[in-house]
A and B are shown apart, each in its own frame.
Chain A
Amino acid sequence: MTALALPHAPGQSRAVPRLLIGLAVVLTAIFVVAPLVFIFWRAFAEGWAVYVANITDPMTRHAIWLTALVAVIVVPVNIAFGIASAWAIARFRFPGRKLLMVLVEIPFSISPIIAGICYLLLYGRQGLLGPFLADHDIKIMFALPGILLVTMFVTAPFVAREVLPLMQAQGSEQEQAAVTLGARGWQVFSRVTLPNIRWALLYGAVLATARAVGEFGGVSVVSGSIRGQTNTLPLQIELMFNDLNTTGAFAAASTLTVIALVVLVVKAALESRR
């Protein structure tokens, strides 16, 4: 390996790659590192005691818990949906297959707030299903189910989009071989398909988790922002910010950041075992 250096075109100096690397480092520092440092700097601006008081505020604690709960419910559903849709698209030919591919990607191209409003117009009191839901005393909007629905919508493509290209590239030879050797459907899936896609699956799940935890726009429409009940962490941050409680807002933001960083570290740790 050491002997293999990238060949240099004649007349091209080493300045160009150095410049590009330098630019990448500087831009990363400005756009990624600086805001991260700033969050923690502002969160601790008034000292540890204030930080702990902000984080242990019952309303903030509930928001953290609710956001984690949403992720814990949404991500497994997402994994199941992602595998099922990728499997269907990659392995089978059926009418509407192209349409399914497009549908899976729709949440990427639709603003979350539009998704939230659509759910509101469908399930809200004045919505299409509103009277039926009210008659049967089923609460979807401004309650946990609404938040889950919108979060599922915005995170729907993540697993499918990671798994699908891999499944298409790998083809179905190994699975066919397994079937030939007498494996049953579930065995084929758990012994052949799943091991092949697990890294893509994991990556998709990590992205979906990060998105589910940070979702703001769509959830803000359907949550009703009831403190201690339906106020998720991003909504709580906005509330504190509007309230001139900047330190509290940044303290809450720091927990969101920590969740995201932990997710990334878990992903890196799992990948290193690959």
Chain B
Amino acid sequence: MTFPKLRLAALALVLGASPALAQDKLLNVSYDIGRELFEALNPQFQTYWQEKSGRDVTIDQSHAGSSKQARAILEGLPADVVTFNQETDVDVLAQGGMVAENWREAFPNGASPYFSLPSFLVREGNPKGIEDWDDLAREDVQPVFPNPKTSGNARYTYLAAYAYALAQNGGDHDKAQEFLGKIFANVPVFDTGGRAATQTFAEREIGDVLVTFEAETKSIAKQYADQGFVPVTPSMSLFAAFPVAVVAENAERAGSTEVATEYLNWLYTPEAQDTMAQNNYRTTDAEVTAKYAAEFPQLELVTVDDVYGGWEQVTADHFAEGGILDKVFVNR
């Protein structure tokens, strides 16, 4: 076969592969580690939508770091809905006019159908007896988490530890920073992302405790079952939203606003929530939450709004150049 013929054949395949059927289509642009969750959820929604409207819907998924995804949507990635793991990345879309300004009110629970929180994963048998945030500041404990400068995941860890220290010290910021300095001094290596930190902990066997989202600690424990890692829930942590939004501009152009809205609303149904709990996320539906209560220990949960006055404020105070995070890094 000559090259031109091969190219023709390939072109025919491309055209043949995407027949223009009269049916609903959704592109869900999502964060990098949500593949398994949505692979489980989407077929359920397809059945639901078929029964409800009598129409078929195909749901395409795109997974990458959610900041990168937000950028791509601003540059034309035709997302109908976003399901992210950083509120600030939806804010970026809102500032770009792609998502309604009041997106947090468009769906229940601050537009976060499920959530997680920074939590611990310790080595088999918990030899260092790590139970709470103050154990991470002990001199004989090496915590592993990525660099908060480059990783959104680690920013939650930082803010959770800081909120804990504030609560312990009656809101004294100097003491909280001193506490964070001690934890940072104990970190043997700052990886750039959550996946790299997981490898440092699980494969290079560095450190005593991995700090990451609770949902992650459980799937890591499952993945490395032979190492016997144990998830440990601290007494207090920070609410980590997994925000969803309809990308209004794209959905209107594609005529998919109805199915997009319905899809996100459906994420709050017991059926969908059950799948989320099975994927180690904490749920908002009361019944499902009660059903899986044994797997998700109770703890005091604070939000960025409560402790820090919102994401804009926390970014300015802590993560800006010369902010509190920089001070903690220098003084560690």
Q: Which residues of chain A have a CB within 8 Å of any CB of chain B? A: 65, 69, 72-73, 76, 120, 124-127, 130, 134, 141-142, 144, 220, 224-229, 231, 239, 241-244, 246
Say yes or no: A239-B35 contact (C-beta < 8 A), given A73-B10, A225-B64. Answer: yes
Interface contact B75-A243, CB-CB below 8 Å: no
Stretch of B55-63, B237-245, B302-310 at the chain-chain interface: B55-63
| Residues of the B chain whose Cβ atoms lie less than 8 Å from the Cβ of A142 | 72, 75-78
Tell me whether B294 is interfacial, beta carbon within 8 Å: no
Interface contact B75-A141, CB-CB below 8 Å: yes
> In the complex, which of the residues A69, A120, A220 contacts B75, with contact meaning CB atoms closer than 8 Å?
A120
6 A-B pairs within 8 Å (CB atoms) are namely A72-B3, A72-B6, A130-B76, A141-B77, A239-B63, A241-B195
Say yes or no: A226-B36 contact (C-beta < 8 A), given A76-B3, A242-B195. Answer: no
Q: What is the bound-complex CA distance between A227 and B14, given in angstroms?
A: 15
Say yes or no: A243-B62 contact (C-beta < 8 A), given A120-B75, A224-B77. Answer: no
Say yes or no: A126-B63 contact (C-beta < 8 A), given A69-B10, A69-B14, A72-B10. Answer: no
Q: A65-B13, A224-B29 are in contact. List 9 more A-B contacts (CB 8 A).
A: A69-B10, A69-B14, A72-B6, A125-B76, A127-B75, A226-B62, A242-B32, A243-B35, A244-B223
Tell me whether B92 is interfacial, beta carbon within 8 Å: no
Tell me whether B220 is interfacial, beta carbon within 8 Å: yes
Q: What is the bound-complex CA distance between A227 and B3, given in angstroms?
A: 27
Task: Give the interface size class of chain B.
Answer: 20 to 34
Q: Which residues of chain B have a CB within 8 Å of any CB of chain A? A: 3, 6-7, 10, 13-14, 27, 29, 32-33, 35-36, 60-64, 72, 74-78, 195, 198, 219-220, 223
Interface contact A72-B7, CB-CB below 8 Å: yes
Say yes or no: A227-B63 contact (C-beta < 8 A), given A142-B77, A242-B33, A243-B33. Answer: yes
A225 to chain B, nearest CB (A): 5
> In the complex, which of the residues A130, A144, A226, A242 contacts B14, with contact meaning CB atoms closer than 8 Å?
A144
A251 to chain B, nearest CB (A): 15
Interface contact B195-A124, CB-CB below 8 Å: no
| Residues of the A chain whose Cβ atoms lie less than 8 Å from the Cβ of B6 | 72
A175 to chain B, nearest CB (A): 25
B83 to chain A, nearest CB (A): 14
| Residues of the B chain whose Cβ atoms lie less than 8 Å from the Cβ of A246 | 223
Q: What is the bound-complex CA distance between A242 and B74, given in angstroms?
A: 24
Determine which residue in B10, B75, B223 has the highest number of CB atoms from chain A within 10 A of its CB, and name it: B75
| Residues of the B chain whose Cβ atoms lie less than 8 Å from the Cβ of A224 | 29, 62, 72, 77
Say yes or no: A126-B75 contact (C-beta < 8 A), given A225-B64, A241-B195. Answer: yes
| Residues of the A chain whose Cβ atoms lie less than 8 Å from the Cβ of B75 | 120, 124-127, 130, 141-142
Q: What is the bound-complex CA distance between A23 and B6, given in angstroms?
A: 44
Q: What is the bound-complex CA distance between A105 and B77, given in angstroms?
A: 31
| Residues of the B chain whose Cβ atoms lie less than 8 Å from the Cβ of A120 | 75
| Residues of the A chain whose Cβ atoms lie less than 8 Å from the Cβ of B78 | 142
| Residues of the B chain whose Cβ atoms lie less than 8 Å from the Cβ of A220 | 64
Q: What is the bound-complex CA distance between A226 and B38, given in angstroms?
A: 13
Determine which residue in A69, A130, A142, A220 has the highest number of CB atoms from chain B within 10 A of its CB, and name it: A142
Interface contact A73-B62, CB-CB below 8 Å: no
| Residues of the B chain whose Cβ atoms lie less than 8 Å from the Cβ of A73 | 7, 10
| Residues of the B chain whose Cβ atoms lie less than 8 Å from the Cβ of A127 | 75
B56 to chain A, nearest CB (A): 16
Q: Which residue of A lies closest to B64 (CB)?
A: A225
Q: What is the bound-complex CA distance between A126 and B198, given in angstroms?
A: 36
B177 to chain A, nearest CB (A): 32
Interface contact B60-A229, CB-CB below 8 Å: yes
Determine which residue in B6, B14, B35, B220 has the highest number of CB atoms from chain A within 10 A of its CB, and name it: B35
Interface contact B14-A141, CB-CB below 8 Å: no
| Residues of the A chain whose Cβ atoms lie less than 8 Å from the Cβ of B35 | 227, 239, 243
Q: Which residue of A lies closest to B3 (CB)?
A: A76
Q: Which residue of A lies closest to B58 (CB)?
A: A228
| Residues of the A chain whose Cβ atoms lie less than 8 Å from the Cβ of B33 | 242-244
Q: What is the bound-complex CA distance between A228 and B78, given in angstroms?
A: 15
Interface contact B32-A239, CB-CB below 8 Å: yes
Interface contact B7-A225, CB-CB below 8 Å: no
| Residues of the A chain whose Cβ atoms lie less than 8 Å from the Cβ of B36 | 243
Interface contact A126-B14, CB-CB below 8 Å: no
> In the complex, which of the residues A76, A125, A126 contacts B7, with contact meaning CB atoms closer than 8 Å?
A76
| Residues of the B chain whose Cβ atoms lie less than 8 Å from the Cβ of A242 | 32-33, 63, 195
Q: Which residue of B lies closest to A146 (CB)?
A: B76
| Residues of the B chain whose Cβ atoms lie less than 8 Å from the Cβ of A124 | 74-76
